[in-house]
Structure 1
Amino acid sequence: MIKRLLVVESPGKIKKLSQILGSDWKVLASCGHIRELSNEGDDSLGFIMDGSNVRCNYVPRDQRAKETIQKLKSAVRQVDEVVLATDPDREGETIAWHLKETLGLKEPKRVIYTEITASAVQSAIANPRKLDQI
């Protein structure tokens, strides 16, 4: 039974990562950004100002993103642990945050590797961190 889910950005990485991680893992891709600000809110900018608070309204980017979100939500329900392995840059961190929010993940593990080799991926999995929200 698959117990862990690794979410990456690129579907081109799935096969190699699946081979490295083995049968206890399912590897899926977000295909980049899955949502964006809506055209609602103040001046149709996707957010509402309430005093000093800002409330953002996000929507799926397109039909493919809607389908990806549903596929990921279904996978999350079938595993014990979710690990986010989006790219190691600010954009990747943002995509990981959107995944956390959209999929309802409480404290997802975030891993970083700069090459898809067994040693780099296994080291990253062994040393997860929290999302960087600063």
Structure 2
Amino acid sequence: MISKEEIANLIANYFSNIAAMNAEGWIANFAEDAISYDPVGEPATKIHENFRAFINQLKTVFNTLEATTEHIFITGNEAAVKWTMQGISKTDKSVTFEGITVFEINNFGKIQTTRAYWNPALMLAQLRS
């Protein structure tokens, strides 16, 4: 079993790399066959096949992103994280969006599955306002 400290470090790395819009660093946190439901309700996405484009898309929309993890609850090899993201778009729009992501960590210390509960439409509405 992975220690709580290792899981906390992995999650910190996940959020710092997404805020830095560092695709390679972010993807390195995931198992080769990792799956993401982001947001929950959308079809599962294979991280290693589809998420470089996602991070690169962030770079085209945002000048800055900042992630705050408000609460992290770790039990066994799983964690639930309440987070807030704040960003400044290329058009100087300020956006704030929040959610909860549930992480499943494999025995090699890599993220196996994420389930993100948030509403992308609320973020997009802020970008368009």
Question: One fold, TM greater than 0.5?
Answer: no
Query: How does the TM-score come out when normalised to structure 1?
Result: 0.29
Indicate the structure (1 or 2) with the bigger Cα radius of gyration: 1
Query: How does the TM-score come out when normalised to structure 2?
Result: 0.30
Identify the structure with the greater strand proportion: 2
